[in-house]
Structure 1
Amino acid sequence: EKKVEAEENKKSEDKKESDDEKKSEDKKEFDKKEEKTENKKTDDNKTEDKKEEKKTDKEDTKKTEEKKEPENKKDENKKTEQNDNEVKVDYVNHAASEESDEEKETKAKKKKKFIIASVSSAVAVLAVTVGGMVFYVNSNSKYFDKGSKINNIDIGGMTIEEAKNTLVDFENNYKISVVFNDSKKVIDGSSMGFKFVDESNIDDCLKEQNKDTFFNKLLSKGKKNFDLEYSFEDVKLNNILDKMEEFDKAKMVAPVDAHLEMEDGDFVIEKEILGNTMDITKATLAIDEAIREAKEEVDLNEFYEKPEVYSDDANLIKKKDNLNELIGVKITYKLPNDKEKVLDGKTLKKWLKKDEDGNYYKNKKKWNKKLTEYVDKLASEVDTVYKEHEFKTNAGDVIFLRAEGYYGYLIDKENEVKQLKKELKEGVNVEREPVFTRKEAAPYDDNYGFGKNYIEISIAKQHMWIYKDGKVALETDVVTGKNDGKHETSKGAFYAFDKRTNKKLTGEIKNGRPEYIVWVKNWIRVTNYGIGIHETSYRNRFGGNIWRRNGSHGCINCPAKTMPKIYEIVETNMPIAIY
């Protein structure tokens, strides 16, 4: 092989020398061409000099020649460069094509020898490595592999005895933290007899490790985690848990959902109550399992009953806003005698309906019913018609007028309901009086509501006083209704709600005919059932006891000469006190 190789090397060197000579000749030929190119450039330059000498004095011809001259130079230079490049390319191509078939064969043989040597070296290294690892694995059968664990306790590199001691030490110091929703309790392992079920299981762990094939160990890098079960005494653990107040059912508080409550006239969200009611069975099982797995902590929060609705619930927030818009109205009633009554959320809340879950909502039927009831109650508090009235007589005595008259405050309930519905729907705050049908002439502190212009009639004295601006403007004796239990004049607080002249008075109809028909020149109505104040032309005497035996049919009879003056003084709606 060496001899053949020497011959091949000799041939290669001879070939190389021949190639070098060839290349030298090519180089000389290339240099000659370069010299010819340079000579050609020199001749061109001389030609250009002669052209310069032949320039004419004419300005136009000179400019033309100057423009053509650079262009001719560029074209000639371009041709010269192209010739040079062609010579160089020919030289390089010629040299490259001279590589012989023998040289190619030599290179291929060298490459093959290199590949064979590389593969042989790699196989040798791999064999040494694998052999070493097999030796290491087989020699480590009495020790746990590095990184091995029992119940997450590191026993890597330990013998069985060392691993046992490590685990016993863990057993003796074991504690588990029990996490409640607002507290944490620690249970000592020794207090519940915590230990391994069987220490011989540690031997089994090492045997299991050694059963592994070399390649399994190679892939896992020798790391393995073994799970061994621990044991404890159930009775002792249950006694410990029973003493914890978190497991005392009597102290457990059920969770409460976030809900709406009224506060200062507005709905607000009452935050949820988490409570501490726990599923004791599931919690105990979780603790049991954690101890058997030697865990150091067990969280019981997942076993607590939890609220279904929290304070950040979007639906709850929306409901709060809607209800506040509904009951956020404030109606302030300006009542007689400088009193006020306010209708706001505190009352409107009671008009809402509440479902089984404690959620408020507007039920139209209940809402309207409560609204009507509110107006009825308002009227009962404010209305003074058909109620007793305090009154100060001409003699200075304060008496109570009988609750028969319709003088006073009277709320128009039908129109008040309509007005209130409208205001609540619009959601506007309002200050106003109720919608009245009738009102008193003055506040209560002004002569008990009778003011300074009024009429006073005393049945006992058969006398009438008419007051203007707080003073008696006119007074006269009168004759009132007969004291027979049928034609008596009504007593109470009234008002003059109608004035007429030339009024026809008709008595009770009997047997198809009125008891009487009388025309009067001046008529002031006192009641809506026929009693009034008018003159009586057929009477000459008034006052005294005439009314007892020859009284009227209920009207207040006045002297004919005085009645025109009375009619003139008395105004419509003037209060009338009869006692």
Structure 2
Amino acid sequence: MCCVSRIRFSRGLLGKQYFAERYYLNTEFASVDISNLTLTEAHHKVTESFSQQTINFEEEGRERQTSNTNDLGLTIQVEEELAALMTEQKQQNWLLGALSDTQHDYAAQDLINIDDAQLQAVLDANAQTNGQRSLPTDAKISYSETEGYLIEAGQTGTELDNSVLKEQIIQALLNQEAVEVSQAYLQPSVTADNPSLIQELEQIQALTSMQITLTIAGYEEVITPEMIYSWLILDENGEYYFDQEMIYDYLGTLNDAYATYDDYRNFTSTLQGDVQLLPGTLGWSIDREAETENVLNDLAAGESVTREPAIVGIGYNGTLDDIGGSYIEVDMTYQMMYVYIDGVAVISTPIVTGQIGTNTVPGAYAIWNMESPSELTGFNPRTGVDYVQPVSYWLAFDYTGQGIHDANWQPTFGGDAYITNGTMSCINIPTNIMAQVCENIYIEIPMIVFQ
């Protein structure tokens, strides 16, 4: 009995010693049988196994090429994993471990490395895959005449994502299968279900369903969804913006229809009946620069709105009649001036206008400056000298120096007085009447001067 026990003990001791430096029977590492091998032998066998494998590449189901792992610069770093496996084995019952199957899994992508340059060289060397590959296209907003604005789905290109391709090669090595190159195509970074893209489309749809109503001089002009559609531009990246030049041009057509600045006017005068007025400083137009910004702001808000446009100039009163019922009328033929307030002539006075050679320039003007007292300075072309003339009242109506003022030096007013005692284009009236005029008028009151 003692001999039998000694023999069994001796065999057990030998087995334990044997597997102290070797892997148990039926041990696999990455599908490589490393049974009975030392750490060094196992390392050599595993690395040799991977270095001698071939990889079949396919693209969209068509066979492309076969490459050796050496051609890819493939290396596998398994020292630490194999050493850990040996340590784990030593902590087990050697007899149970030797009789059981052991398979060791690991994160292959962490242990296997593929050289980028050698991988690209392998792909480029194959005639079937050589040549220019296409990049993916992101989903974007596009316009269709039949469907309007919509999201155009992104397209997968044929350019490769090498990080994905390398993962596929590793899995192909482990699973003994071909690499499907098309599964490594770069994917669009923006897809049709992108929340930002969907929100942008909703904004565009809201923009192109709103309208902007401009009330101009008592009339309404509607910027319709169809017009907004025509102003909307999508660039090649699917980004949208509004064509500001088109909006600016549209506002120009509204000025053509409504603006009064630099226009001839028909006017019913006190003594001559209907006369035609030349353009002057009176008049208004849509401020196209400011209003273009206003329209863009309305579009950004995305809600229908009714409002007046931005106006520049003098005389806008909500109607096309920028003279209205309150104005100063100067009739140079009859040398008379009238002040009308709300349609009633409150002042009537004879005047003296410009002498021949320094004639008063007719036109539709507006008072833009009032001073009391004032000092007139300038150059007298008739005498050839500069002058300085104090006055009690001064009303400027253009930007070249024409104005209305009292003239206590004038012996008479009205009639033919302008022929011999005419002004240098200003309008002279008696001082006492001038005071009444200033009491009744206001800045920007229209002033009508005609022959």
Q: Normalized against structure 2, the TM-score is what? A: 0.52
Alpha carbons 2:405, 2:426 under 8 Å: kept: yes
Q: Please tell me the residue identity of whatever aligns with 2:326.
A: N
Deviations 1:334-380 (A, max 9, x none): 010x211111322122223478xxx996654x722223333333334
Q: What is the CA distance between 1:470 and its match in structure 2?
A: 1.3
Q: What is the CA distance between 1:416 and its match in structure 2?
A: 1.9
Rounded to whole Å, the distance in 2 between the matches of 1:526 and 1:467 is 16
**Residue of structure 2 aligned with 1:402, choices 253, 275, 278:** 278
* Structure 1 match to 2:222: 342
Q: Do structure 1's residue 507 and structure 2's residue 382 form an aligned pair?
A: no
**Residue of structure 2 aligned with 1:557, choices 414, 417, 428:** 428
Rounded to whole Å, the distance in 2 between the matches of 1:505 and 1:490 is 18
Relative to 1, partners in 2 of residues 1:476 and 1:324: Cα closer, same or farther, differing over 3 Å? Answer: same
Rounded to whole Å, the distance in 1 between the matches of 2:387 and 2:239 is 60
Q: How does 1:32-431 map to 2 (within 5 A)?
A: 260-261=144-145, 267=148, 321-336=202-217, 338-353=218-233, 364=241, 367-395=243-271, 397-403=273-279, 405-431=280-306
Alpha carbons 1:441, 1:451 under 8 Å: kept: no
Q: Do structure 1's residue 450 and structure 2's residue 323 form an aligned pair?
A: yes
Rounded to whole Å, the distance in 1 between the matches of 2:385 and 2:213 is 52
Q: What is the CA distance between 1:527 and its match in structure 2?
A: 0.8
Q: What is the CA distance between 1:417 and its match in structure 2?
A: 2.5
Q: What is the CA distance between 1:541 and its match in structure 2?
A: 0.9
Deviations 1:32-78 (A, max 9, x none): xxxxxxxxxxxxxxxxxxxxxxxxxxxxxxxxxxxxxxxxxxxxxxx
Any gaps of 5 or more consecutive residues in structure 2?
1-141, 151-191
* Structure 2 match to 1:461: 334
Q: What is the CA distance between 1:260 and its match in structure 2?
A: 2.6
Relative to 1, partners in 2 of residues 1:360 and 1:433: Cα closer, same or farther, differing over 3 Å? Answer: farther
Q: Do structure 1's residue 578 and structure 2's residue 436 form an aligned pair?
A: no
Q: Do structure 1's residue 530 and structure 2's residue 401 form an aligned pair?
A: yes
* Structure 2 match to 1:177: none
Q: What is the CA distance between 1:566 and its match in structure 2?
A: 1.4
Q: Please tell me the residue identity of whatever aligns with 2:254.
A: L
Alpha carbons 1:458, 1:578 under 8 Å: kept: yes
Rounded to whole Å, the distance in 2 between the matches of 1:443 and 1:423 is 22
Alpha carbons 2:214, 2:306 under 8 Å: kept: yes
Q: Please tell me the residue identity of whatever aligns with 2:253.
A: K
Rounded to whole Å, the distance in 2 between the matches of 1:353 and 1:572 is 45
Q: What is the CA distance between 1:468 and its match in structure 2?
A: 2.0
1:507 alignment partner, SS class: strand
Deviations 1:75-123 (A, max 9, x none): xxxxxxxxxxxxxxxxxxxxxxxxxxxxxxxxxxxxxxxxxxxxxxxxx
Q: What is the CA distance between 1:415 and its match in structure 2?
A: 2.3
**Residue of structure 2 aligned with 1:489, choices 334, 337, 360:** 360
Rounded to whole Å, the distance in 2 between the matches of 1:398 and 1:507 is 36
Q: What is the CA distance between 1:508 and its match in structure 2?
A: 3.5
Rounded to whole Å, the distance in 1 between the matches of 2:385 and 2:222 is 53
Q: What is the CA distance between 1:458 and its match in structure 2?
A: 0.6
Rounded to whole Å, the distance in 1 between the matches of 2:413 and 2:238 is 69
Q: What is the CA distance between 1:430 and its match in structure 2?
A: 1.3
RCO higher in 1 or 2 (8 Å CA, sep ≥ 6)?
A: 2
Q: Which has a greater percent of helix?
A: 1
Q: Normalized against structure 1, the TM-score is what? A: 0.41
Rounded to whole Å, the distance in 1 between the matches of 2:402 and 2:291 is 31
* Structure 2 match to 1:218: none
* Structure 1 match to 2:417: 546
* Structure 2 match to 1:440: 315
Rg: which structure is higher? 1
Q: How many residues align?
A: 264
Rounded to whole Å, the distance in 1 between the matches of 2:351 and 2:364 is 18
Any gaps of 5 or more consecutive residues in structure 1?
1-257, 270-312
Relative to 1, partners in 2 of residues 1:259 and 1:412: Cα closer, same or farther, differing over 3 Å? Answer: closer
Q: Please tell me the residue identity of whatever aligns with 1:501.
A: S
2:443 alignment partner, SS class: coil
